[in-house]
Chains A and B, each alone.
Chain A
């Protein structure tokens, strides 16, 4: 770089630099940054799209949100979903990664199988699960009947619907969590385990005292990544339950979608988007504060 600087590289290429970044900056400015800021602004306006009228109403949309039981329910459901899916897929992913960190026949094939749901479209996969969850003829209840267990209502009951969606999401994301943990495990130098074995540490002790602490950066990454994605959950809820029964599986993004694009309550939906944004920002802030603390260098 310094050699270039001596030849007056900087000035000659200033034009190139701005021309080269212009498409991305303009496209992102127009289609992402401005709409993001505008959505936040809309949350304090009454938006009447057909009349092209925007009326400032302060925090009225947020007040409406706070007073709306359906939104409270969507918020609770989203938080429950996040609180369940994030630790469960990470824990199962870690357990499987430990198994996969040994040698056994067909290991690569198994890994590919575990990962397959991840590359499948959520809508298509959820459609299959919708069939599996069918209370009368769906495979899950058929299997329960085969072993003489009582049928489950799955998606049909407000008691079990959210859990059924969570089970689907665990199935969908398990392979990803496993592969990430496996990469983390394989990066841990073997000497650590050898030294611990010489000191007489058993496999469980080695797992808790070496693997788990050294995997802290991987765990942090997965919790945050899964958390951000889980707050945005939409596709599977849309397909499996459409938010029902009786709002039992309604989530923030689904409610936002309905309010904005079925009822044209743009201001109200923008307020929901602002809440969602605050949640994602919150997780990112936590990540920023904690990521440095868990850095590991070998």
Chain B
């Protein structure tokens, strides 16, 4: 490629990058600009002065720390359970041979094909019967285990040499201990990838929480922002963007720090959430 070609390529790549960044940039600028800047023409690319007033309004209008706590509890419990259950199930499917093994494995994988969009109606009816609607348990119900986690962990265990497992057995280690102290440490990378993808999926999940949650104090962050926009009230973009910054900031920071790991994990496994 000639130097003109190279320059052209760099210009195209930069132009697309500007388009990709613009919404993020405008979100932050709107959130920290005084109200007069927000409606100015021509647009104020750089705030005339920095202000936190929109954040004050956003915090006064909605309990963001509670939303954080809800998102965090749901994500941590769902990732923790999915990893723990997935580790044992993945081990069983990779190491043991037992009757109906393939039936169970396919049953688990088949749930990947049936999204919560399809199951939500009957799931809601079921949860209403056991009084789980409008509770953490309700949000968590379909997310206690992950088919995708079981699959990736099973693949990971298949790739580790079983001599290690056998040696531990000779030493008299029980199966549970082998899974927790020998297999799990060897699978660190796989487990980290699965945890990251499940966490991201849970953190950003919207449809199921908005179905199952009614009380404001149980809203997760996405539900909190979506219902922060009052469709009939006065539209105030400063606080709305401040709320969006509050809600999306930490994940974007985590991404900035670990983008290589996150991109590779999401791309390799071909899945988001």
Give the most central of B41, B89, B96, B145: most A CB within 10 Å: B96
Query: Whole-angstrom distance from the CB of B238 to the nearest CB of chain A?
Result: 10
Residue contact A266 to B85, C-beta cutoff 8 Å? no
Query: Whole-angstrom distance from the CB of B221 to the nearest CB of chain A?
Result: 7
Cβ of B68 within 8 Å of any chain A Cβ, yes or no, is no
Cα–Cα distance between A150 and B259 once the two chains are bound (Å): 39
Give the most central of B26, B42, B121: most A CB within 10 Å: B121
Cα–Cα distance between A238 and B227 once the two chains are bound (Å): 10
Give 1 or 0 for each of B247-264: 1 = CB within 8 Å of chain A CB: 110011001100110110
CB within 8 Å of B: which residues of A?
1, 3-4, 10, 13-14, 16-18, 20-21, 23-25, 27-39, 41-42, 47, 49, 96, 99-100, 102, 104-105, 108, 110-125, 127-132, 134, 137, 139, 142-143, 145-146, 171, 174-176, 179-180, 183, 221, 225, 232, 234-235, 238-239, 242, 253, 256-257, 260-261, 266, 269-270, 273-274, 276-277, 280-281, 284
Residue contact A180 to B270, C-beta cutoff 8 Å? yes
Cα–Cα distance between A122 and B272 once the two chains are bound (Å): 12
Cα–Cα distance between A16 and B262 once the two chains are bound (Å): 34
Residues A38 and B96 in contact in the complex (CB < 8 Å), given A23-B89, A96-B16, A171-B23: no
Q: Which residue of A lies closest to B224 (CB)?
A: A123
Residues A32 and B114 in contact in the complex (CB < 8 Å), given A21-B89, A39-B119, A127-B225: yes
The residues of B that contact A113 with a CB separation of less than 8 Å are 17, 20-21
- Tell which of B6-14, B50-58, B184-192 binds the partner: B6-14
Give 1 or 0 for each of B102-138: 1 = CB within 8 Å of chain A CB: 0010011011011101111111111010000000000
Q: List 10 A-B contacts (CB under 8 A).
A: A1-B162, A21-B93, A38-B122, A39-B118, A100-B13, A116-B255, A121-B206, A128-B26, A132-B26, A273-B119
The residues of B that contact A146 with a CB separation of less than 8 Å are 42-43
The residues of B that contact A38 with a CB separation of less than 8 Å are 122, 125-126
Residue contact B113 to A176, C-beta cutoff 8 Å? no
Residue contact B117 to A47, C-beta cutoff 8 Å? no
Query: Whole-angstrom distance from the CB of A199 to the nearest CB of chain B?
Result: 20
- The 8 Å CB contact of A225, one of B128, B150, B270, is B270
Query: Whole-angstrom distance from the CB of A145 to the nearest CB of chain B?
Result: 7
Residue contact A176 to B266, C-beta cutoff 8 Å? yes
Residue contact A104 to B88, C-beta cutoff 8 Å? no
- The 8 Å CB contact of B10, one of A18, A24, A32, A105, is A105
Q: Which residue of B lies closest to A129 (CB)?
A: B23
8 smallest beta-carbon distances between A and B, as pairs: A38-B122, A20-B92, A35-B123, A124-B248, A17-B96, A121-B204, A35-B122, A20-B88
Query: Whole-angstrom distance from the CB of B193 to the nearest CB of chain A?
Result: 14
Cβ of B46 within 8 Å of any chain A Cβ, yes or no, is no
Cα–Cα distance between A174 and B17 once the two chains are bound (Å): 11
Residue contact A20 to B141, C-beta cutoff 8 Å? no
Cβ of B27 within 8 Å of any chain A Cβ, yes or no, is yes
Cα–Cα distance between A34 and B1 once the two chains are bound (Å): 58
The residues of B that contact A270 with a CB separation of less than 8 Å are 121-122
Cα–Cα distance between A29 and B114 once the two chains are bound (Å): 13
Query: Whole-angstrom distance from the CB of B177 to the nearest CB of chain A?
Result: 12
Query: Whole-angstrom distance from the CB of A5 to the nearest CB of chain B?
Result: 8
Residue contact B20 to A42, C-beta cutoff 8 Å? no
Cβ of B222 within 8 Å of any chain A Cβ, yes or no, is yes
The residues of B that contact A27 with a CB separation of less than 8 Å are 85, 144-145
Residue contact B111 to A238, C-beta cutoff 8 Å? no
Q: Main secondary structure on chain A at its contact with chain B?
A: helix
The residues of A that contact B247 with a CB separation of less than 8 Å are 121, 124
Cα–Cα distance between A43 and B255 once the two chains are bound (Å): 42
Residues A284 and B125 in contact in the complex (CB < 8 Å), given A113-B20, A124-B247: no
Query: Whole-angstrom distance from the CB of B196 to the nearest CB of chain A?
Result: 10
Cα–Cα distance between A281 and B206 once the two chains are bound (Å): 23
- The 8 Å CB contact of B17, one of A31, A114, A274, is A114
Give 1 or 0 for each of B79-103: 1 = CB within 8 Å of chain A CB: 0000001101101110011100100
Residues A132 and B23 in contact in the complex (CB < 8 Å), given A23-B89, A121-B251, A276-B118: yes
The residues of B that contact A273 with a CB separation of less than 8 Å are 117-121
Cα–Cα distance between A256 and B124 once the two chains are bound (Å): 13
Cα–Cα distance between A115 and B30 once the two chains are bound (Å): 23
Q: Which of B208-222 contact A (CB under 8 A)?
A: 210-211, 221-222
Residue contact B30 to A131, C-beta cutoff 8 Å? yes
Q: Which residue of B lies closest to A4 (CB)?
A: B166
The residues of A that contact B101 with a CB separation of less than 8 Å are 17
Cα–Cα distance between A29 and B147 once the two chains are bound (Å): 12
Cα–Cα distance between A33 and B22 once the two chains are bound (Å): 42
The residues of A that contact B162 with a CB separation of less than 8 Å are 1
Residue contact A24 to B86, C-beta cutoff 8 Å? yes
Residue contact B89 to A20, C-beta cutoff 8 Å? yes
Q: Which residue of B lies closest to A16 (CB)?
A: B175
Q: Which residue of B lies closest to A266 (CB)?
A: B121
Residue contact B121 to A115, C-beta cutoff 8 Å? no
Residues A39 and B122 in contact in the complex (CB < 8 Å), given A23-B85, A119-B262: yes
- The 8 Å CB contact of B267, one of A1, A179, A238, is A179
